[in-house]
Chains A and B, each alone.
Chain A
Amino acid sequence: RMEASCLELALEGERLCKAGDCRAGVSFFEAAVQVGTEDLKTLSAIYSQLGNAYFYLHEYAKALEYHHHDLTLARTIGDLLGEAKASGNLGNTLKVLGNFEEAIVCCQRHLDISRELNDKVGEARALYNLGNVYHSKGKNVACAGTHDPGELPDDVKNALEKAANYYEENLTIVTELGDRAAQGRAFGNLGNTHYLLGNFRSAVIAHEQRLLIAKEFGDTSAERRAYSNLGNAYIFLGEFETASEYYKRTLQLARQLKDRAVEAQACYSLGNTYTLLQDYEKAIDYHLKHLVIAQELNDKIGEGRACWSLGNAYTALGNHEQAIHFAERHLEISREVGDRSGELTARLNLSDLQMVLGLSYSTNNSMMSENHVADNSLNGTRPRVGRRHSMENMELMKLTPEKVQNWN
Chain B
Amino acid sequence: QPLASRQAAELQSKVVPSKQILHSDNMEMEPETMETKSVTDYFSKMHMGSLVYSCTSKRKNK
Do A195 and B30 touch (CB < 8 A)? Answer: no
Do B25 and A48 touch (CB < 8 A)? Answer: no
Do B37 and A188 touch (CB < 8 A)? Answer: no
Contacting residues of chain A (231-254) with chain B, CB-CB under 8 angstroms: 232, 235
Interface residues as binary, B18-56 with A (CB distance below 8 Å gives 1, 0 otherwise): 111111111111111111111110110000000000010
Complex alpha-carbon distance, A267 and B58, angstroms: 53
Do A192 and B29 touch (CB < 8 A)? Answer: yes
Do A92 and B43 touch (CB < 8 A)? Answer: no
Complex alpha-carbon distance, A182 and B42, angstroms: 25
Whether A31 sits at the interface, judged by CB under 8 Å, is no
Given contacts A188-B29, A358-B1, A358-B4, contact A45 B11 (CB under 8 A): no
**A residues contacting the other copy or chain, number (CB 8 A):** 78
Given contacts A185-B30, A228-B28, A316-B15, contact A7 B39 (CB under 8 A): yes
Do A402 and B43 touch (CB < 8 A)? Answer: no
CB A315 to nearest CB in B, in angstroms, measures 5
Complex alpha-carbon distance, A44 and B39, angstroms: 9
Do A189 and B29 touch (CB < 8 A)? Answer: yes
A contact patch SS = helix
Interface residues as binary, A50-69 with B (CB distance below 8 Å gives 1, 0 otherwise): 00100100000000000000
Do B37 and A44 touch (CB < 8 A)? Answer: yes
Interface residues on chain B, size class: 35 or more
Do A398 and B39 touch (CB < 8 A)? Answer: no
List B contacts of A92 (CB < 8 A).
Answer: 32, 34
Complex alpha-carbon distance, A275 and B20, angstroms: 10
Interface residues as binary, A378-408 with B (CB distance below 8 Å gives 1, 0 otherwise): 0000000000000011111111111000000
Complex alpha-carbon distance, A180 and B3, angstroms: 64
Whether B12 sits at the interface, judged by CB under 8 Å, is yes
A89, A316, A355: the one within 8 Å of B16 (CB): A316
Whether A82 sits at the interface, judged by CB under 8 Å, is yes
Do B42 and A312 touch (CB < 8 A)? Answer: no
Of all chain B residues, which has the CB nearest A355? B7
List A contacts of B15 (CB < 8 A).
Answer: 312, 315-316
Do A45 and B39 touch (CB < 8 A)? Answer: yes
Do A129 and B22 touch (CB < 8 A)? Answer: no
Given contacts A7-B43, A11-B55, A356-B7, contact A52 B20 (CB under 8 A): no
Do A229 and B28 touch (CB < 8 A)? Answer: yes
Do B42 and A41 touch (CB < 8 A)? Answer: yes
Complex alpha-carbon distance, A355 and B29, angstroms: 44
List A contacts of B21 (CB < 8 A).
Answer: 272, 275-276, 397
Do B23 and A397 touch (CB < 8 A)? Answer: yes
Q: 10 new A-B pairs (CB below 8 Å) besides A82-B37, A396-B24?
A: A11-B40, A49-B38, A122-B35, A132-B32, A185-B33, A225-B30, A265-B24, A309-B22, A393-B23, A400-B19
Residues of chain B having any CB pair with chain A under 8 Å: 1, 3-4, 7-8, 11-12, 15-16, 18-40, 42-43, 55, 58
Listed from nearest, the 8 A-B pairs whose CB atoms lie closest are A85-B35, A400-B19, A225-B28, A48-B37, A45-B37, A185-B30, A188-B30, A312-B16
Task: List 30 A-B residue pairs with CB atoms under 8 Å apart, sorted by A's residue number.
Answer: A14-B39, A14-B40, A42-B43, A44-B37, A48-B35, A49-B38, A55-B32, A55-B34, A70-B37, A85-B35, A88-B35, A89-B35, A92-B32, A143-B25, A185-B31, A192-B27, A192-B29, A222-B30, A224-B28, A275-B18, A305-B24, A309-B22, A315-B15, A355-B11, A356-B7, A356-B8, A357-B4, A393-B23, A397-B22, A402-B19
